[in-house]
Structure 1
């Protein structure tokens, strides 16, 4: 089979195939907003469309491509696995590569003892729910409002966005939401001593919401007080994204479990991991007849384990975490400098290369009227007046941080250069400045988007 030939021969049918056999609404959305450029290749932090025009990718596959696309070291590791004729997934044996990857991950989190591998971040969340309930004998799971932990049923039961939950209820019982960064609300729920775990993102992906400085440490202390496990969901924030190996290191907290995925894949083979304390692990796998009480057929496959090992190697060898801290500090300073200069820019949040730029209602009457007009059609629509010009005019791929959000989230590859930061700063400066010109090109675009939104609503 010639994969290159298939891609080349069927390229013209890219969107037709998806409309016919996959997700037609996704194709309609891409065409409506002009994102149907047909990306054909990727290299590092860059994408190239059918005309071979270069784009800077600030989505990175929602954080998957921390090393950029098609990293040579990861590719070489995967080729080596394929060329080695390894037995792979014998099931009645154990994998050398899985053992080594577990060992190397736990070096970065020395207060934890064991690793459990899964196929994705959502599977890691599912495992954490089971491990917490099994280890504590309690049914309850606490999560934070506005959280995103995945879309499988257990993970969806901890999802704070009603847009994802609607139509799929009822969720798992005994899952309780509390406001993020609210210790009193958390303690009120924990005090009943029925909660197995508090599962929390150190920095919430939907909105890039940061906790106050003492929140996570105090939350961990409350969990210890009431016998609840403290679980850090680092699926997006982990592996260097925030300028530390784990985001929770910024606050000096040692969770009972850490969940990883996304970047661990190297952008090639999905892999998730749960790192946890030995006593929790031993409560689950406590007898020989329970050695397979939880698992997943493909979870420790050699390609995934090799991708994880190569990713850890590259993060260290290329100082990706240090680069994330340095470039993140520069970009945060630039965006924070927009606050006060531009009425629409309300707040800038983030750590390392996880940055949120929040837009909001302006003060001047002319801009306030324009804002109200477009937001009345669809909450969060204003951000498209920034992301679409960034894409069309500056070839920067970005997007809002969630449904009906006013925050644009940046998750560039951890390997971006000074020149890439120049590119980002030029593009955002121009796009944000244009949004303040009413009437102007940005608002003409806004009216067109509003028309599409109203037609879609009428059609529904």
Structure 2
């Protein structure tokens, strides 16, 4: 009798003509049905939104900082999947890293073993935060937040969790409980108990909340994603000092701001802060395989995993999978070899200077803020009577609607993809890939200048669009 090894069995099966799955061909075949399929099987309301605002062009390819629609038109992506594509879309080094993992037949997720790729990625991440000693891997930013809540409560023996108004830490239940925007929480209560909200950038409010010594952790984004809200230069350092004074852990949520987004590897570096827990995700994935991570101090980690019988008291089935770890390692290598953190700082400085000059010229531009390639352009009520009347009409129907009068023409006329920085927000946020160059900066500056200039002519095409959007918004409210 001849015994066949697993490899022989697999090779025979493949040689026997098992059909190959070709997603590219299937994509091309069904691409024209994308909206019908989503409306039928997925989120129909999102399909309606895209059609209403004219974003139904059908993207078919992504490369670097660019997207291409079914007609071959090229778009500059200033959204980058909410900051996921820091190294650009479909980077060849990332693709090769993932293919190498699949080709190597590694013993992935044995579970009753330890992962070499996970250890290597942890080692690499900790080199950027030498005050940290341990890493916990998860599948997303929200999962990293959930893990950090558990670490904080286990380490301190306290229940209280603080977060800031206008914060965003994710949409799973623990993370949602730390959300500073009611639209995300409405209808989903009751949420996690012992969570409290305080104003952002308010040290007095923080100390008042901490002084009872019942708070396990203070979760804060160094720069808030919803609105690109900036702290005072000494706020984070003073907040960390207050947390130490009252025995509370300082948790920096760098899920969006981390990995070079703000012109430093971590945004806390701008403020001279060394947090107790530091959360990363988004860009670490390279855009292909979701991954999240909690970086923390050893004493905190050891409070969670304090005995052999508690070695698996918290975990994530796919958290240390080889593809995710390889994506993280490849992403960090690309960022170093292409000097993307430095590029973020340089291009960001140029764009911020340009937008601040626009704020001097255009009365609708109320503020420009940000660091690196995390930039917010806030629009506000104009002074001139014609513009003020048009502005107030939109605001009466739906607060924040004016930003669509900027983002939609940017998309339709200038092939620039961007979006509002939050619900009811008057700020357009830029989160481009960190790979953008001077050509792209020219494109951004020229497009924004043209659209903002046109918005200062009332009545005009932009404000006609506003009336149309206001009509849609009113129908949505009524029905």
TM-score, normalising length: structure 1: 0.99
Matching of residue 177 in structure 1 with residue 197 in structure 2: yes
Match of 1:9 among 23, 29, 40: 29
- 1:129 is aligned to 149
Aligned equivalents of 1:203, 1:457: Cα separation in 2: 32
Q: After the TM superposition, which of the residue ranges 339-348 and 18-27 deviates more from structure 2?
A: 339-348
Stretches of structure 1 that go unaligned for 5 or more consecutive residues are: none
Name the SS for the 2:318 alignment partner: coil
- 1:109 is aligned to 129
Larger Rg belongs to: 2
Aligned equivalents of 1:253, 1:123: Cα separation in 2: 24
Matching of residue 147 in structure 1 with residue 167 in structure 2: yes
Aligned equivalents of 1:63, 1:402: Cα separation in 2: 14
How much has 1:169 moved relative to structure 2? 1.1
Aligned equivalents of 1:119, 1:294: Cα separation in 2: 13
Deviations 1:384-430 (A, max 9, x none): 11000000000000000000000000000000010000000000000
Aligned equivalents of 1:21, 1:293: Cα separation in 2: 36
Aligned equivalents of 1:84, 1:226: Cα separation in 2: 50
Matching of residue 391 in structure 1 with residue 403 in structure 2: no
Deviations 1:350-395 (A, max 9, x none): 0000000000001111111010011111100000110000000000
Size of the alignment, in residue pairs? 459
- 1:80 is aligned to 100
- 2:454 is aligned to 434
Name the SS for the 2:56 alignment partner: coil
Matching of residue 372 in structure 1 with residue 392 in structure 2: yes
Match of 2:346 among 315, 326, 336: 326
Deviations 1:275-318 (A, max 9, x none): 00000000111111111100010000000000000000000000
Matching of residue 162 in structure 1 with residue 190 in structure 2: no
Aligned equivalents of 2:457, 2:385: Cα separation in 1: 13
Aligned equivalents of 1:427, 1:4: Cα separation in 2: 33
Aligned equivalents of 2:477, 2:215: Cα separation in 1: 41
Matching of residue 213 in structure 1 with residue 233 in structure 2: yes
- 2:306 is aligned to 286
Q: CA RMSD in A?
A: 0.5
Deviations 1:118-160 (A, max 9, x none): 0000000000000000010000001010000000000000000
Deviations 1:87-139 (A, max 9, x none): 10000000000000000000000000000000000000000000000010000
- 1:277 is aligned to 297
- 1:193 is aligned to 213
- Where has structure 1 moved over 2 Å in runs of 4 or more? none
Aligned equivalents of 1:339, 1:425: Cα separation in 2: 13
Name the SS for the 2:360 alignment partner: coil
Aligned equivalents of 1:403, 1:125: Cα separation in 2: 22
Aligned equivalents of 1:410, 1:380: Cα separation in 2: 17
- 1:246 is aligned to 266
Matching of residue 299 in structure 1 with residue 319 in structure 2: yes
Aligned equivalents of 2:471, 2:199: Cα separation in 1: 35
- 2:12 is aligned to none
Aligned equivalents of 1:364, 1:18: Cα separation in 2: 44
Aligned equivalents of 2:166, 2:32: Cα separation in 1: 39
Deviations 1:203-250 (A, max 9, x none): 000000010011000000000000000000000000000000000000
Aligned equivalents of 1:249, 1:5: Cα separation in 2: 46
Structure 2 matches for 1:85-96, cutoff 5 A?
85-96=105-116
Aligned equivalents of 2:250, 2:425: Cα separation in 1: 28
Match of 2:76 among 53, 56, 77: 56
Name the SS for the 2:146 alignment partner: helix
Aligned equivalents of 2:237, 2:29: Cα separation in 1: 56
Match of 2:275 among 248, 255, 259: 255
How much has 1:458 moved relative to structure 2? 1.9
Match of 2:440 among 413, 420, 425: 420
Stretches of structure 2 that go unaligned for 5 or more consecutive residues are: 1-20
Name the SS for the 2:361 alignment partner: coil
- 2:402 is aligned to 382
Aligned equivalents of 2:476, 2:300: Cα separation in 1: 49
Matching of residue 97 in structure 1 with residue 98 in structure 2: no
How much has 1:340 moved relative to structure 2? 2.5
Aligned equivalents of 1:272, 1:65: Cα separation in 2: 14
